[in-house]
Structure formats: structure tokens, C-alpha cells
Structure 1
Amino acid sequence: MFNNTHLNPTRLAVMKKLMNFAGKTADAASAQSGIEEALLNYETALNASDTHNVMAVFAPDGVFMAPNNPSAVGTDAIRAAYNGIFQAITFDTELTVEEVVQVAPHWAFVRTNSKGHVTVNAIKQRVPDANHELFIFQKGTDDAWKIARYSFATTNPLP
């Protein structure tokens, strides 16, 4: 898991797009904070091509649903998917949280947008990358929010 001292507080503040509710509970604020920290850890691991730390933010029975690929279900399949992705491309991207909705004490969904670039490693070509993402988070027995389901799609115009 990431050590909080490695997190850039300025980047975390920029990444957060907190929804302002009148009377927002401390539990809801804590959930949102924990989820946003997990997303920042995911973003950091993605940009570092770090499968180990990507796996640290996924639930053991998580599901990763990338476009044009079968769902990767469970730790081994998700690890293999990210190893393949990191062999093919290198990320330089930023996630922006658009909404966090806690639907139960241990469940929340999150909508994000990301933009930046990826480098196609085989040809060393850097290209724009932009997506919208949907995450479903589950709070584990250790009180940490983990990615239970994740799917995304490009928002770049078709060529």
C-alpha cells in the first residue's frame, strides 16, 4: 500500500471535487476521503506502471472491465491484465473525481474523468488519452475502500 508521505497534498486537493451537502455526515465525508485517497493511489500506480500498487487498491474479488476485452475477474486475472497493459503502454494521466455516491455503509460508486497521454511502448509514440470511468468501491473488513468493479471508455473522438 502507498505511504501517505508519498502523496502530493496539492495534487490531492486538486483531484478532489467535493460535493457540498448541507449536513453531510462525518461518515460520508470519511468515505469520500478514503475513496479519493484510493483513487489517488491508483492514479499514482497507473502512472508508475506499478502492478503491485494497482493491486493494493483492488478488492480480492474485484472485476476490471476494459473496452474490447473480456472482464478480468479476481486478483490473478486483474494482475495479468495490468501487466499486459503496462508492457504495451505507459501512462501520464490525471483522474478528476466528478461524483462520489455512497449507496450503503460499505458500498459506493464513483464517476471520474481522466486525461493526459499514453506512450505506445513498441513505437515510443505519445498520444492523447481521455476517458470517463465508473468505479464501484467496497469498504473491506480493514476499513479500507477498495475497487470492487471498474470500467472505462474513451472520450477521445474517433479517428
Structure 2
Amino acid sequence: MRQMRGIRLVLAGAALTASSCTPAMVNQQSEEQTIRAISSDWQRAIVAKDVEKIVSIHAADAVVMFSNSPQATGSAAIRAAYAGLVNIPGISLMWTPTKIDVVSPTVATDFGSYTLAYDGPQGRVSDSGNYTTIWHKVDGQWRVAVDAPVTATPMPAAGAAPQVMDLADMQSSSGAAVTWGDFTSPGFDPGAKIAVLHGNPGAKGDYTVRLQFPDGYKIPVHWHPNGEHATVLSGTLGLAMGNTADWKAVRDYSSGDFLYLPAHHSHFGIARGVTMVQLHGEGPLEIKLGAGM
């Protein structure tokens, strides 16, 4: 009897161990359909220039790697990258998943092909390529964790003149048509807004953006790898150069005042009243907290 009892205990233990090792079931078809629906929403958001919708489809720490562009990591960088992309004249971007594989209840992979077209200085520019996307389920919702489109366009032959990938010669935007989004960057308090007027601040090339700060907003000590050209459009911007925030050193700049902030030189500031500043420079626009040169 004792031997039989021991055998039963061993079998029961083996059954428990086997059940604990059984992977969670995944409804491949249902989860794949959900991801395809989100992918379609993503494409519609690009057509609508709804940058906030695009950002919401990505995880907070997502990584986007566009061809020929610096890696964009986190919501702020992805917002800046897409704000530039959707405002390219005549932009058309579409993709088709080839295969979506839900490898676990919280991870899926997606690869396929894309087509891209926009209006360039010499006419319509077209591109095509492939992409790989990794999806993570965050709080019950599928979100993009990594997105890596890769162009299939051949490199120009040695000695050939490179194609200029820039916007049309003439671009204009009325003040009423400017689209504002939340500006978020590590170390910066919430409350600031950003609008991209020209180019892609997250990529190489010239860009123009506007920043709006609420009254009393403090800009922490930071620096940029590239120089910055700043014009105060409204309100008053208090700004000083230095590796530590000495607020007694701040000088006020009013509407119409221009500042050039050299690369690698730390600066900090404060908004006195609701303040709008326009920045332009050579991208990518990177923000580095703390002391520079």
C-alpha cells in the first residue's frame, strides 16, 4: 500500500510539472487579425497626418530605424520623426504584411513590403523596400516595439551624383494650419508643445520647428551635437549658457530677438509668460542633458 501511495504521489507530481511547463495557448488567427487591424489604423493615421495616433501605436520605449536616418528611440524621437515624414509634400506610404507570427501571448513578428512616394525638387520620387516589425502586448494591447523598414533601392554607382532627398523648392504654412503636439524628452517637464514646420528634426538635413512653453516653464541644462538658431516669436525667453543652472545669469529675450547656440555648449532657460520660440538647424536634433563643453 505504501508503495502504491508513493507511485501515486510521483505520478501526481509529474502531472503538475508537465502542466506547469505547458506553454500558454495563443489564438494565432485572432491575434493576427488584431495586428493587421492596428497596422491599417497606422497607415490611415499617416494619411491623416495624425502624429499622436501614430505615436500611441508604439510602445513608450519603441525603436524606429528608418533607412538612411538615425535611430529614433522613445516617444519624443518617434514623434519628431513622423512629424517630419507626414509633412513631406505628396507623401504616400503603404505597406503589406507578408507574414505575422504570434510567437507568444505577448510577442509577435511581422514582415512585409512597403512603397513610398513623395514630391521632390525634380519631380515625383519613389522608393520600395521591406520591413520587419516586432510587436509587444502592453497592458493587453499590441504595440510596436521595433520597426525597421529597409529600402530595396540600389545604391548609386560609384562616381554618380547622389540624389537629393529634400522637400520641394517652395514650402509654406499658415499659422492657423500649424499642428502642435506634446514635446516630451527625458529630463524635461511636461507642458511644452512642438510643431514641425519643415524637414525631419530626427534625421539628417535642415529642419525648422516651433516650441511653445507655458509661463514659468524651466528648460533644464542641456546641449546639442549641432548648433541651434533660435528666434523668439512671442513672450519672453530667459536663457543663459553654462553647465549649471545659475538662474541669476539668465538674460531675457523678447519677440524678434535671435540667438545662436553653438554645438556642445550647455544652456538652460525659463519662459516668462507663454513663450513661443522657432528653431532651425541641421538635423538630427539631439538633446543631451547635463554639461557639454
TM-score, normalised by the number of residues in structure 1: 0.73
TM-superposed CA distance for 1:116, in Å, is: 4.7
Q: What count of residue pairs does the alignment treat as equivalent? A: 132
Q: Percent identity?
A: 26
Change (3 A) 1:49 1:119: farther
Q: 2:54 aligns to what SS in structure 1?
A: helix
Q: Residue 145 of structure 1: CA displacement?
A: 1.0
* Partner SS for 2:76: helix
Taking the TM superposition and a 5 Å limit, the aligned residue runs for 1:2-151 are 27-120=27-120, 123=121, 125-141=123-139, 143-151=140-148
Which amino acid in 2 is paired with 1:92? S
Q: Which is worse superposed, 148-157 or 42-51? A: 42-51
The answer as to 2:152 corresponding to 1:155 is yes
CA distance in 1, matches of 2:39, 2:122: 27
Which of the pair has the greater relative contact order for Cα pairs under 8 Å at 6+ separation? 1
Question: Could you tell me how far 1:93 is from its partner in structure 2?
Answer: 3.0
For residues 56 and 37 of structure 1, what CA distance do their matches in structure 2 show?
A: 14
CA contact (8 A) 1:97 1:113 kept: yes
Cα shift at 1:89: 4.9
TM-aligned CA distance change 1:134 to 1:90, over 3 Å = farther
Measured after TM superposition, the shift of residue 26 of structure 1 is 6.9
Corresponding letter in the other structure for 1:149? V
Deviation (angstroms), 1:50: 2.4
Deviation string 1:39-66 (CA, Å, 9 cap, x unpaired) is 1111112233321221121111111111
* Unaligned ranges ≥5, structure 2: 1-24, 157-293
1:91 Cα deviation after fit: 2.5
Q: Is the 8 A contact 1:119 1:125 kept in 2?
A: yes
Contact 2:57 2:144 (8 Å CA) reproduced: yes
* Root-mean-square deviation (Å): 2.1
* Secondary structure at the counterpart of residue 118 of structure 2: strand
Q: Secondary structure at the match of 1:81?
A: helix
- What CA distance in whole angstroms lies between the structure 1 residues aligned with 2:101 and 2:127? 26
Structure with bigger gyration radius: 2
Higher fraction of helix: 1
Spell out, residue by residue over 1:49-87, the C-alpha distance to the aligned partner (whole angstroms, 9 max, x if none).
321221121111111111222211111111011112233
2-structure distance, mates of 1:127, 1:110: 26
Structure 2 distance, partners of 1:107, 1:26, is 11
The answer as to whether partners of 2:134 and 2:145 remain within 8 angstroms in 1 is yes
